[in-house]
Structure 1
Amino acid sequence: MTTSPSRFRIPPSEMEMIHSLLGRSPSLTEEAVFSAMWSEHCSYKSSRIHLRAFSSRHPRVKSGPGENAGIVHVSDGLSLAFKMESHNHPSFLEPFQGSATGVGGILRDVIAMGARPVALANSLVFGSLRHPKHRTLFQRVVEGIAGYGNPAGIPTVGGEIWFDDRYQHNILVNVMAVGIVNNNEIMSAKASQKGLLAIYIGNRTGRDGVSGAAMASRGFSKDGADLRPQVQIADPYAGKNLMEATLEIARKKLADSIQDMGAAGLTSSSTEMAGRAGLGMELDVSCVPLRDKTMEPWEILLSESQERMLVLSCPENAEKILDIARAWHLSAAIVGRTIQEPNFVVLRGEEQLASIPIKYLTENAPLYRRDFVITSDSTTSRSIPSLGGSHSLSDLFHRMLDHPNGGDPRWVYRHFDFEVQTRTVFGPGHDAAVLDLKTRSGSGIAISVVSLPHACSRNPYLGGAMLVSKAVTELASIGAFPLAITDCLNFGNPEKPVIMGQLQEAIRGIAEASAAFDIPVVSGNVSLYNETDGTSIPPTPMIGITGMIPALRKRIPGHIREYGLKLAIAGDLDNLSLGGSYLDWILEGEIQEPVPAVSFSRVSALLSFMLSSSSSGRIRFSRAVGRGGVARALLMMIKESTSMGIYLDCPFPLEPLGFFFSESPGRILVAYSAEEESWLDESAREWGISFLPLGRSVPGLWTIRFRNPEGLQKEWVENLPTLKSRFLRSLSQFMEE
């Protein structure tokens, strides 16, 4: 059979598959449906086979991959619903609307599970801020996130930023949402029976976002202007009304199942809800509320207009659902029904426009085992630059702080209302955000997002393992134990073997680490084709992690507020490689050290040590060692107090660059009263980790005395007010140029 070229950019090989499955040529509407459902964005055709490495099996998991969001039980009859998603392509084209709709979309995924959103977090990666375009892009993306989250009443409580020339033509905007749901009110996106009515609620459908899923499944040209009409438009006020209406419907148990109309709009939500149950779906596009009456049926099906949900319900509840939607000033209409025959049937009144077995759109979507090449960094030597001249500790630290990657991120989070809902205990600027569950038990939840662009670009496998280890360490530092992970995998063109190898290796690293820590991966997202004119971004996986603090009163703050406390470092001190670190990135190849391997057992032991110490109240303040190593972690601990300083006297020989700037996982700085030292030292020995006293908190100083490997006494002294000012002003100075 000769196949004609696709009208929707479907590759010729896939057009042949469609002809073979249907036994005929598809209609225009059918071809449009296939183009969306078989897009990389919807079908995961390049990554699906590798994502099986992730495990969601765990006693606390109530819902895993395949639903709108993952759900894990916390305590007091409550569960967390959470997920992380990307909105990279739209945010590059229209930064405000792209990021705002990214926030709205991830919130609706959580809401569709019956959960009330309580927090947002983000991970943002851009090109150099020395480029005026990227200053504008960055500012507008931050404003877009705030422009949706703030009016919707959802606090943005944490995040990460990274700036790198390699993202000059493809930025990354990843957003995580977390919600709370009663265990007896959890919703599903799986239909339960035939004869359910499909009820559309939300904003009217327009042409914004038509073919957005397909757009997100291919690379850019440097212009990209032709793709701008495919960016959706956000409406946070309608989004808030939709949230309240959906939660009321769920709370009153009027719905059988609910799904957000996200990628591929009405097509994906309807086919997936019916398909999960082996049922069919009949839709009448003439019943869909429209902003533009001239829209073609295929445009109605593929539109990604925002603030829309599809609710399936028994006929006897339909009128109640319609009344609730209208009471919240939303459009609402019955647009279809579930049917026994497992087909996706599209009508326009009496006219049939499409009839496709749903399994052809889902189960039978292409699944590629793409060629791959593993090209991880093979550095095995341990060569680092010597100190002296421009490589003094002070000069290197200043270079790190003067770049926005090393500065304080408060320019970003001052845009966000992170205290709305009055749950926020620790907001932005801590290792992890902490929220009050407001239950009788006094428990709380912790949230963190983590990325390691440089380490992952050098070694995707070890970088992936470090991601999870870093996330666990950040939870440990505040006294929280991990619950579950969501991921967002940002890569280039999977048709290139090198890119496919990066994706495969990063997944392997994340999967092995999460399994080692017994942390389920319950949701996630894959964003591929992040490339422009054939140049791909570096491998950039990101993860979001949730944790629990059984008693909020035992949480550990990260900012020292008292003089005279002792300071120590706890954890794994045997593998202080600079490979993949921020300093490694700053020095652009001068450091010849491998990305450090992760000792999962030692990170687990550090977690146990910190949980034991927090529950017994032994540690007053703590900070995980992350970007910028011990030096930056020390500065982060004292930054919130104008006069707070440190005096360290390290009586042991050390290699200063490795000790102060390594980002090897599994280390935490702790501050404690002197009388607790013997207990902490003994506890560390019992758990099999190092505990090394370093000095104390003092007013007005940054003085570090140490001996180098040759035994020579050295001293690192900074003007503390100048150092803090440098740190606090770094990012804002770039943005105010």
Structure 2
Amino acid sequence: MKSEINDGNAIPTVETARKLGVLPEEFARIEEILGRTPNFTELSIFSVMWSEHCSYKNSIVWLKTLPRDSDRMLAKAGEENAGLVDIGDGLACSFKIESHNHPSALEPYQGAATGVGGINRDIFTMGARPIAQLNSLRFGNPELAKTKWLVRGVVKGIGDYGNAFGIPTVGGEVFFDECYNTNPLVNAFSAGIVEVGKVAKATSYGVGNPVYIVGSATGKDGIHGATFASEDISDKSNEKLPAVQVGDPFMEKLLLEATLEIIATGHVIGIQDMGAAGIICSTSEMSAKGEHGMVIDLDKVPTRQTNMHGWEILLSESQERMLVVVQKGKEDIIQGIFDKWDLHCVQIGEVVPAGPDDAGRLHFYQHGELIADVPAHDLVLGGGAPQYHREYREPAYYQKFKEFDIDKISDVSTEDIVKVARHLLSHPNIASKRWIYEQYDSMVGTANRSTNRPSDAAVVRIRDVSRPDYKKGIAMTVDCNSRYVNADPFIGAQIAVSEAARNLTCTGAEPLAVTNNLNFGNPYVPEVYWQFVQAVKGMGAACEKFGTPVTGGNVSFYNQSSDDGPVFPTPTIGMIGLMEDPAHQMTLDFKATDDLIYLVGAPKNDIASSEYLYSYRKVKESPAPAFDMEEEYTLHQAVKQLIVKNLVQSVHDVSDGGLFVALAESAMPRGLGFQIASDTNFRTDAYLFGEAQGRVLVSVKPAQQGEFQKYLGGDQKIPHALLGTVTAQDFVVDQEVVIGTSEARGLYDNSLGKIMG
């Protein structure tokens, strides 16, 4: 092969760099790194690797401030394909959340489907078998034809891929607001289980070790997808449809089994999913981590189209592909496994030593010519990729929201309570997402412990063939009320973490760790970047308090358009918890008539940022709901003990829609009702529909009332109040029937389906 660089027909200029998303100062830095002007292929490499999507260049300085350590952490945040947490008994849970927002905005079916495929590959490249999936979705006004098209496409994409792949979708969240009209958010979460000593690493070392590409052939789909994800959505975005990948869940299923089988041989040095930026991302990140170089022959890469340019092969984000570095001499074993699964397994290069002046270089050849020579270290996050401290300033609306005066809003009358109840139970942000989740297979694998046991978090059994009677399970949830975060990013992000921990706690699990998906607008807008900075600070403070370190995740900037502006800041929290004993799994449904209903936690005269205030009273400007971190933490510890001591029959957190919606959600699963009295010390709307944090709804057997009150009122000093009793039917407040159970279930179960037609 020739060793001189083939520069192509034209030498790139600063203007070429701009078109590829590279800033002029970054272009100068590339010239400095290479000691010359890059050719087009090399410039394309830097453009994707230094994009926000791959390098986190505008976010990493703040992400580093998040708590990352605990006794259970087995992998440092961001260093492997996914987070890894010790769950005891020689097992670990690998989990992660990532966005596929921009592709889903243009082609919702493939955008969402490939998001599901990509996040699952991150899990099984660790050597972990995926056990469950969640998703967090945001859409615009549900009455708009475009929103309905996006919802249908995204949901079908998630369902078709996940169902065919054979991993249950066990929960999630869906939120609608006009700020997402152009930019939907599609965040996919996956978790898997692996034996602690059998974790695969995303690294490369060992001079002479062969480098393989395995899985699907490489096509032109997804080229410059990372760059596309690092710019605003505009009228011209549809011209970039080739940046959207195309998925094949059946191929992914084969790749899963083959990958786990080759990892089990012990002959794999390193393995990484080819997600954003494709071959160049995998080769550079693995080489940089292992401090070695690679020589790659692009002619050997299986392709779907003829005459692909080298830069197209390098940057393609075609799905269901892996890069694998294997021990030299074990090629036949690895090849045999992939032949058995009828998958491509082609050696495209080998590991080479680092030079005396670098940590490892990548040499890419095509048609016998060297088309790119780049240093791996300078391409990657934590290496030479740029890191910026962006300007930020408080937006004017923030102080304006704080001027909200509850006394200027009239309280509700008895007649109003009926109207508000019907409004909330049928609102798409609160009503059942049955129309969506019925399109997902939640029972494949028969490990889901919460399909027929409604709870605040999903619970999945851990299967261990060597221990058939193994009892432990993993609880998981995704949470974020972006309206709260928009009102106050610092408090709103704290609430997102707290609600995730509260959901796990109410289910009977111990919160362990967090993965996050930080969805924001353009980071070059100071007011947007201020939202990001404040949210990261709030998230960090809450994760520190709850002992849930951040294992990694994803930052998605540029979620905005010229028509709608930025989306609400949406730092989605994915949190896992450990369910030690299934006997302590708690559900949210009332169990029997005459059980006592208690509110645990202190109510507040607060309606700020509630669904009631926002969509029923049409007041858009108010601060985040009342929140106190210490009260929240103390409440969680008390709830854990109530469950362990078997003092409660049901537990449900009070969140969106307030106390009334929590009561309804606890009553409806078994067709029951409730009769409660409101507290005259508070406004009726605040008491019933306010969303002040730090409150949990429980039901108690009359025979256990004394012990229940003794525990909370003794040393614990936890505020609690008897609301009333579980009844056979009807939702009764202050001796007035607000709505019948049957009508409530009809509104709650069918409203979203009616909207979607």
Compute the TM-score of the two structures, normalised by the length of structure 2.
Answer: 0.93
Q: Which residue of 1 aligns with 2:748?
A: 727
- Measured after TM superposition, the shift of residue 570 of structure 1 is 1.0
C-alpha spacing 1:595/1:182, structure 2 compared with 1 (3 Å): same
Residues 7-59 of structure 1: CA deviation (Å, up to 9, x unaligned)? 63423222122112222110121111111101110010110111011121101
Q: Which residue of 2 aligns with 1:364?
A: 384
Matched, 1:623 2:686: no
CA–CA distance in structure 1, aligned partners of residues 227 and 439 of structure 2: 32
Q: Which residue of 1 aligns with 2:428?
A: 404
Aligned partners of 1:114 and 1:187 also within 8 Å = yes
SS of the residue 1:201 aligns to: strand
Q: Which residue of 1 aligns with 2:674?
A: 646
Q: Which moved more, 1:336-345 or 1:303-312?
A: 336-345
Aligned partners of 2:508 and 2:640 also within 8 Å = yes
C-alpha spacing 1:237/1:441, structure 2 compared with 1 (3 Å): closer
Matched, 1:53 2:65: yes
Aligned partners of 2:673 and 2:730 also within 8 Å = yes
Select 2:149's aligned residue among 136, 142, 156: 136
Q: Which residue of 1 aligns with 2:29?
A: 17
Matched, 1:307 2:331: no
CA RMSD of aligned residues (A): 1.9
Aligned partners of 1:444 and 1:549 also within 8 Å = yes
Q: Which residue of 2 aligns with 1:182?
A: 195
Q: State the AA in 2 paired with 1:426.
A: S
CA–CA distance in structure 2, aligned partners of residues 161 and 390 of structure 1: 30
Matched, 1:345 2:363: yes
SS of the residue 2:16 aligns to: coil
CA–CA distance in structure 2, aligned partners of residues 400 and 386 of structure 1: 18
> What pairs up with 1:305-704 in 2 under 5 angstroms?
305-341=318-354, 342-348=360-366, 350-362=368-380, 363-375=383-395, 377-378=398-399, 379=402, 382-384=405-407, 385-388=409-412, 392-427=416-451, 430-438=455-463, 440-533=469-562, 535-573=565-603, 575-587=604-616, 590=619, 594-642=623-671, 644-650=672-678, 653-685=681-713, 686-704=715-733
CA–CA distance in structure 2, aligned partners of residues 99 and 435 of structure 1: 23
SS of the residue 2:284 aligns to: helix
Q: State the AA in 2 paired with 1:32.
A: S
Aligned partners of 2:420 and 2:616 also within 8 Å = no
- Measured after TM superposition, the shift of residue 588 of structure 1 is 5.9
- Measured after TM superposition, the shift of residue 488 of structure 1 is 0.3
SS of the residue 1:392 aligns to: helix
Q: State the AA in 2 paired with 1:277.
A: G
Q: Which residue of 2 aligns with 1:242?
A: 255
Residues 352-386 of structure 1: CA deviation (Å, up to 9, x unaligned)? 11111122212121211111012373315541522
SS of the residue 2:44 aligns to: helix
CA–CA distance in structure 2, aligned partners of residues 660 and 681 of structure 1: 23
CA–CA distance in structure 1, aligned partners of residues 620 and 271 of structure 2: 52
- Measured after TM superposition, the shift of residue 715 of structure 1 is 4.0
- Measured after TM superposition, the shift of residue 717 of structure 1 is 2.8
> What pairs up with 1:203-352 in 2 under 5 angstroms?
203-341=216-354, 342-348=360-366, 350-352=368-370
SS of the residue 1:495 aligns to: coil
CA–CA distance in structure 2, aligned partners of residues 509 and 588 of structure 1: 29
Select 2:112's aligned residue among 99, 106, 110: 99
Q: State the AA in 1 paired with 2:291.
A: G
Q: Which moved more, 1:396-405 or 1:177-186?
A: 396-405
Aligned partners of 2:84 and 2:95 also within 8 Å = yes
Aligned partners of 1:578 and 1:591 also within 8 Å = no
CA–CA distance in structure 2, aligned partners of residues 520 and 144 of structure 1: 31
Residues 522-551 of structure 1: CA deviation (Å, up to 9, x unaligned)? 011000011122722121111110001110
Select 1:35's aligned residue among 32, 39, 47: 47
CA–CA distance in structure 2, aligned partners of residues 99 and 83 of structure 1: 16
CA–CA distance in structure 2, aligned partners of residues 192 and 186 of structure 1: 17
C-alpha spacing 1:390/1:293, structure 2 compared with 1 (3 Å): farther
Q: Structure 1: give runs of 5+ residues left out of the alignment.
A: 706-713
CA–CA distance in structure 1, aligned partners of residues 709 and 265 of structure 2: 54
CA–CA distance in structure 1, aligned partners of residues 390 and 632 of structure 2: 34
Identity across matched positions, percent: 34
CA–CA distance in structure 1, aligned partners of residues 312 and 617 of structure 2: 48
Aligned partners of 1:476 and 1:606 also within 8 Å = no
Q: State the AA in 1 paired with 2:598.
A: A
Q: Which moved more, 1:393-402 or 1:34-43?
A: 393-402
CA–CA distance in structure 1, aligned partners of residues 605 and 716 of structure 2: 20
- Measured after TM superposition, the shift of residue 587 of structure 1 is 4.1
- Measured after TM superposition, the shift of residue 696 of structure 1 is 1.2
- Measured after TM superposition, the shift of residue 679 of structure 1 is 1.9
CA–CA distance in structure 2, aligned partners of residues 592 and 488 of structure 1: 25
Q: How many residues align?
A: 726
- Measured after TM superposition, the shift of residue 615 of structure 1 is 1.6
CA–CA distance in structure 1, aligned partners of residues 274 and 721 of structure 2: 53
Q: Which moved more, 1:668-677 or 1:678-687?
A: 678-687
Aligned partners of 2:609 and 2:620 also within 8 Å = no
Q: Structure 2: give runs of 5+ residues left out of the alignment.
A: 1-10, 355-359
Aligned partners of 1:382 and 1:594 also within 8 Å = no
Aligned partners of 1:257 and 1:313 also within 8 Å = yes
- Measured after TM superposition, the shift of residue 237 of structure 1 is 0.1
CA–CA distance in structure 2, aligned partners of residues 591 and 731 of structure 1: 23
CA–CA distance in structure 1, aligned partners of residues 23 and 482 of structure 2: 32
C-alpha spacing 1:651/1:509, structure 2 compared with 1 (3 Å): closer
Compute the TM-score of the two structures, normalised by the length of structure 1.
Answer: 0.95
Q: State the AA in 1 paired with 2:235.
A: K
- Measured after TM superposition, the shift of residue 596 of structure 1 is 3.4
Q: State the AA in 2 paired with 1:373.
A: R
Q: State the AA in 2 paired with 1:470.
A: E
